Structure 1
Amino acid sequence: MTWSELSQDPSFWVAVSFVVFVGAFGRLLLRRLAGVLDAHRTAVRDELDSAAALHAEAQSLRERYTDEAAAAEKTADEIRARAQEAAGQIAADSDVRLQAHLSRMRARAAEEIARSEEAARQMYRERVADLVLAASTRLLRERINAEMQVVLIQQTVDGLGQSLRQRQA
């Protein structure tokens, strides 16, 4: 095919116009497509950078919260240990106070028993003295005449009264 034949062929001119059209607008289209792709690439890169920054921040927060949780657990353990120690001390103090209270109660009870025993002894002595006096009076009445009885009874009563007063003092 020669140039003259080729220039007469409509398919040739369609092909030439297509090549010119693609050449002229293809560059523009490629530039725009490259711009769009570059913008998309930049947006994706920015999103990836933002995601990496968020990931780093999340990792930092996770580490911080993990550290804070460990510190809180340690503080809770310390508080628990102090509370157990305080409870032990309170129990020990309560035991000491209870023992002291029981000792005071025992001492009071012993004092009360001693007072009761002393009162019983005193009452016993007084009763014995009354019985001795009554028995002596009866014996003297039976064995001594009336005049002597009065004198002896009076002397005995006076002597016992003085004796009892001396014992009570």
Structure 2
Amino acid sequence: MFRKTIKNRFQKCLFSGVILALLLACQRDDICPEGTETTPLLVIEFYDAQDLTRLKAVQGLVVQATGMEEAYIGPETTNSISIPLRTDENFTEYTFIYNSGSEDENEDKVTFSYSPDLEYLNRACGYKINYSNLDVVVHQDEDNWIQAQIIIQENIENETEAHISFTH
């Protein structure tokens, strides 16, 4: 009986020791804190071509990445969008469709080129990608609805302000 009691105590101590070791092995920084900046999206605002100071909503906007079946955005009516850029390439191509699904539907292909810059955050969060040297090309066709593009910020490090404006 004495042996059985010692064996039970030893098992309880061993079990408690294993649990304590597991709890001490976890560190507070193993979880990425909410609110940590991640790879930013490209923010685009749409302006009136007649009054460059006035935001103008795009009717029936659909934004679709080249080679993808599904639309990333839309159809919706909006004057500002945020879209991701590829992190494994130095360019991303999208098709911007105006008045999607109507008789006046109009597609413009747009290529964004940039230099992806890897930034180490910490062990828990890993890396994020910032983008520098942003450039944009609206491919010309017989009927572009995007009339002009202005690069507001060449470097994309956050999503708090617009990076590009399109006039239409």
Bucket of the pairwise TM-score, normalised by the shorter protein: under 0.3
Structure 1 or 2: larger helix share?
A: 1
**Structure with max Cα Rg:** 1
Structure 1 or 2: larger strand share?
A: 2
- TM-score if structure 1 supplies the norm length? 0.23
